[in-house]
């Protein structure tokens, strides 16, 4: 580990190897890097994603919509391997010029409509299906307050704490302390709010919960960055209660394994096209064929 202080150049220059663990894909430029169209399935909703916290927000909502009996929410889900740079294909960059998962195409619209950024996708689907988003103006506003709280807060957790605690090639006290303090403050915000609310918006489960749970629920459950002990997550009992209740939902269990390519084989469904795929197409079933 280097003990030398870093003095920035007057003008930053990209160098081979910048980015640590992600050096093979990180560049200071946007746009496609190779030509490759995206696959398409039979359903109107086409999802291109990976089972990261941002990715499973969308698959959880889609599975919740199907669980609620909305067959029009059936979807095809294709894995985009972000560690291999598949998000920089020409096809994916046309759906999301920012080259980040998840990205959605709604072919029921003419012309087909692209939707990118996880919060935008959640709001789009909730409005399209009139579900998991309150209709009352006060309740809807509170839901959107927490939805956008997540959009602003999670980069501190993922890009800040997660990067410097788990992924940076060298560990330094200052950035880890800086982001740990902020993540614990965010957990305290949630813990105090959930002391008097069953879900983020009171008694109703909404897209606010679906947005926040993959990050903060999985964090207190020890599934992010192997950091539960470091963050002393047992202090946040209300967040744990809320997280456990959401994790037990059948649609959440299904949504978490769609586009997952790591972990136990029975928890990996690389592509999802039909509800029966959860019974027949997980990796443990495919290995037996």
The pLDDT confidence band at residue 18, using thresholds 50, 70 and 90, is confident
- Residue 226 in this model has a pLDDT that exceeds 60: yes
Do residues 145 and 77 touch, judged by C-beta distance below 8 A?
no
Q: Tens of pLDDT along 130-186?
A: 999 999 999 999 999 999 999 999 999 999 999 999 999 889 999 999 999 999 999
Asked if residue 206 is part of any domain, the answer here is yes
The CATH number given to whatever domain includes residue 202 is: 1.20.1050.10
Domain residue limits at 169: 137-249
- Residues 220-237 have a mean pLDDT of 97
Asked if residue 95 is part of any domain, the answer here is no
Q: How many domains does the chain have?
A: 1
Asked if residue 230 is part of any domain, the answer here is yes
Question: Percent of the chain beyond pLDDT 70?
Answer: 98
Asked if residue 260 is part of any domain, the answer here is no
Asked if residue 203 is part of any domain, the answer here is yes
Tell me what pLDDT residue 258 has. 98
Q: Tens of pLDDT along 70-113?
A: 999 999 999 999 999 999 999 999 999 999 999 999 999 999 99
Asked if residue 24 is part of any domain, the answer here is no
Asked if residue 217 is part of any domain, the answer here is yes
Q: Tens of pLDDT along 22-56?
A: 877 889 999 999 999 999 999 999 999 999 999 99
């Amino acid at each position: 580990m280097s003990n030398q202080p870093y003095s920035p150049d007057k003008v930053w220059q990209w160098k081979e190897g910048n980015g640590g663990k992600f050096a093979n894909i990180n560049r200071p430029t946007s746009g496609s890097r190779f030509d490759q169209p995206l696959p398409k399935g039979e359903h109107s909703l086409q999802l291109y994603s990976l089972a990261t916290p941002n990715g499973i927000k969308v698959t959880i909502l889609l599975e919740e919509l199907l669980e609620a009996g909305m067959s029009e929410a059936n979807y095809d889900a294709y894995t985009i391997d972000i560690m291999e740079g598949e998000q920089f294909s020409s096809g994916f960059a046309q759906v999301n010029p920012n080259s980040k998962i998840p990205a959605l195409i709604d072919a029921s619209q003419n012309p087909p409509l692209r939707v990118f950024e996880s919060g935008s996708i959640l709001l789009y689907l909730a409005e399209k299906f009139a579900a998991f988003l309150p209709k009352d103006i006060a309740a809807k506003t509170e839901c959107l307050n927490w939805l956008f709280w997540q959009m602003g807060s999670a980069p501190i957790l993922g890009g800040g704490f997660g990067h410097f605690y788990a992924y940076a090639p060298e560990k330094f006290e200052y950035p880890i302390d800086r982001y740990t303090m902020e993540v614990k403050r965010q957990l305290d915000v949630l813990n105090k709010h959930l002391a008097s609310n069953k879900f983020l918006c009171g008694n109703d489960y909404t897209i606010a919960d679906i947005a926040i749970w993959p990050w903060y629920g999985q964090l207190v459950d020890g599934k992010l960055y192997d950091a539960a002990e470091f963050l002393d997550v047992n202090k946040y009992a209300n967040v744990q209660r809320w997280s456990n209740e959401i994790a037990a939902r059948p649609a959440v269990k299904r949504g978490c394994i769609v586009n997952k390519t790591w972990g136990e084989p029975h928890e990996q469904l690389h592509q999802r096209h039909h509800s029966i795929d959860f019974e027949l197409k997980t990796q443990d079933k495919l290995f037996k064929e």
